[in-house]
Structure 1
């Protein structure tokens, strides 16, 4: 069945300096690994056509569908605090844009489809492990309700890519509200290309924040909106124990979506200093530092926008400072709001935040599992419930039971029944996350030639994360000592 996609490519109508036109490399033997049929339906795409030989060839980059206009986007970025003026899509090609039935304009991007003008010394390819990892984790994040890029398909290319060892190649089809990053603005600002910054800002407003297009100060409002979205996004990350691992400015999308799942991971035992990324040797992007880094990245975006904010530089700087200063309070509001909901508290009262911080203190001392702590709390709303399974998470920490007493007393002051509270808690606290050891186990099986059954099982479980299913009980468990993952890798 021929593949038909109604493309409408607005970014490629920007000036040529915003991108390079490029054709994906032909995959010698493309084969479908996994297709997101639910997402395809949401996008108005024909899943049957996508799974056909012509569709798989297009998803691998071997054939270009009619109406596509493949480009690699230019951007710069601070990588671990060091500025790199020219990065760009070194192994990703924007195939084109579609308008979904609900009116959203979305990018379709191929990751791992070959060299571009920005590849530098890289091969532009991707191995099957990182491709399937991003597919699984981005779809889990979507199931958690966290803004994220999505994964439409993963396709094996039939070729070998060389990393630490030879690995099977693959291409990911990623869907995003846009691929505009903080680093995209930095690319033009670094070159003193004020017209480029303005055109990019106008495009971003028109595409992502159309309600502010006619405002008196649209660029200041654009910055304010990006700050707001990032404050909420980071709070949501922390609420599920997510560690991005590589929060460079080129990995921060101004849409407020999570983007670029490289060495990301989910925390098992609670530790605000947790670092798993093998390339984060100084702990810059540790779990608990992510709000600080987000604010730092947003400051870099503010610097880029200064010429658009006012002809008076001092006034422009103050506009940025004023809006960026709101990040901390916006983040804290979102953060405590999210964690109070996880504790079954619908409306915040004085002293409630102490319940959150008090629990974290006990969790850290007892090395309690982050996900299971919040999930099992829903079973303890009733004061008569058995606490043995919950207390076992804390390694005998004596502070748990006094905290439980305070928490239950607070719940008793609300207007909801214990059953209603427990149901609300189970709807926000996942039972299953993509635990690092389970992810690695499933990916290793595929790399070694398995049929992928373990991966599909894990994918199905993490995309229904709030359900208690006895058959998936093993996937909900933290790793044994010998199963712990000490480091995660970027895959480039």
Structure 2
């Protein structure tokens, strides 16, 4: 049994609206994250039928008090004053085994006051995608929301086509976004804005409470977390796909896995999202977009800060400018680890930039390249070298790069660096075509491929036969070049 608390409900009601989920026809449990449930304090696992009722919204778990949360947001740069949870409900919060407060949310549980004419439902495909990708991200150490349960509804959802429906149960440090602050600030309700900021400080950044200016310190802390988060994304080739301010978590977690994807053939301007027509959220644009989102967050906090007028704007602007050096420092650390070099290496950035050029010009798969490089570092023989060179259309250029890399690596402590290299370069990622295979099978009623893929992407550094089989890049006929949002 989960023990629910409701701290967010102490905030002013414009930030939330009480709302009940809409029941579904025939709930059936697809997956339940037993390890996460134990971490959240569930000591005894209920039967599947009970879990299906709870996490479809047909029955409320004991102690749950569902609420839809309000937020605004810049969507592709255009401000929408009211968005909110149009298909999600916060059941409440639990305290996990590390004494950290976590939100439990149903996603796809029916209409809310924020639905804006939508059906409040989710197709099965996006639920399976988010479950797989968020659990992979947790396994590789990226701050992220988690998947607790997936339930099929026995109903149909109309999107581009008629699809089976499902509900995801999502766990987050909180669901408070930049857009939540925009929602409060837009109403010019100083009391609600201050209550929200104080809640975030208490919950996520308690060190800011005793600062000379707590709200300026809050901005600084959120900026640092976002810089570290996006640097981690970039190290894995992850493209969020929809980095609107309403999808930017104040807690510094990856949230809202809609049209997300992992880049395969390296291309700095790669876009997968079907709705990103102009490439605003292309791979290489993500750091600048994160900084832009943080500037919007800063604007909401200005009325709370100690200074006034030009002085407070200058202070906030200076913090936003710090995003770039913070991001660069985090990226340098990931570069060093991915290349098996010492963290203080002065050559990591240069070597990485040259390798990215090689990957782009040589049509190289990003994950396969770093996996092969890790294997070569562990066993620097001709077989491993040849396997790496086969990944590029420009083997002579890559061979020259390898000589420079080996010279730089020789200066590092090999065993220690190889361990870091392995932890930075997963064997497998949730590739687009594998996710699509899972979805296609699930639409036919077969969830075995989903469970098989889930098992390997949650052990992403294990070099098993099954991982190698599912890690293979897509053939030309298997490529999935567009991903779609589930709304």
> TM range, normalised to the smaller chain?
over 0.9
Structure 1 276/174 Cα, relative in aligned 2: closer, same or farther at 3 Å? Answer: same
Give the deviation of 1:455 after TM superposition: 1.1
Residue from 13, 16, 22 that aligns with 2:13 = 16
Residue of structure 2 in register with 1:407 after alignment: 405
Give the whole-Å Cα distance in 2 for the aligned partners of 1:318 and 1:194: 22
Give the whole-Å Cα distance in 2 for the aligned partners of 1:444 and 1:46: 35
1:471 aligned onto 2:466 = yes
Residue of structure 1 in register with 2:477 after alignment: 482
TM-score by length of 1: 0.96
Deviation per residue, 1:121-145 (Å, 9 max, x gap): 1000111111111011000000010
Residue of structure 1 in register with 2:310 after alignment: 314
Conservation of the 8 A alpha-carbon contact between 2:337 and 2:417: no
* Aligned residue pair count: 485
Conservation of the 8 A alpha-carbon contact between 1:91 and 1:124: yes
SS at match of 2:149: strand
Give the whole-Å Cα distance in 2 for the aligned partners of 1:8 and 1:289: 39
Give the whole-Å Cα distance in 2 for the aligned partners of 1:144 and 1:74: 31
Give the whole-Å Cα distance in 2 for the aligned partners of 1:132 and 1:17: 32
Alignment of 1:19-34 (within 5 A): 19-34=16-31
TM-score by length of 2: 0.97
1:43 aligned onto 2:58 = no
Structure 1's unaligned 5+ residue stretches are: none
Deviation per residue, 1:440-467 (Å, 9 max, x gap): 1111110122x21111111111000001
Residue of structure 2 in register with 1:86 after alignment: 82
Deviation per residue, 1:398-435 (Å, 9 max, x gap): 21111111111111112x23x55434322220000000
Residue of structure 2 in register with 1:263 after alignment: 259
Give the whole-Å Cα distance in 2 for the aligned partners of 1:311 and 1:375: 50
Alignment of 1:104-143 (within 5 A): 104-143=100-139
Alignment of 1:385-396 (within 5 A): 385-386=382-383, 387-396=385-394
Conservation of the 8 A alpha-carbon contact between 1:307 and 1:313: no
SS at match of 1:427: helix
Conservation of the 8 A alpha-carbon contact between 1:110 and 1:171: yes
Residue of structure 2 in register with 1:56 after alignment: 52
Conservation of the 8 A alpha-carbon contact between 2:456 and 2:466: no
Deviation per residue, 1:96-144 (Å, 9 max, x gap): 1111122010000000000000001100011111111101100000001
RMSD: 1.3
Give the whole-Å Cα distance in 2 for the aligned partners of 1:262 and 1:393: 30
Give the deviation of 1:191 after TM superposition: 2.0
Give the whole-Å Cα distance in 1 for the aligned partners of 2:256 and 2:403: 42
Conservation of the 8 A alpha-carbon contact between 2:11 and 2:192: no
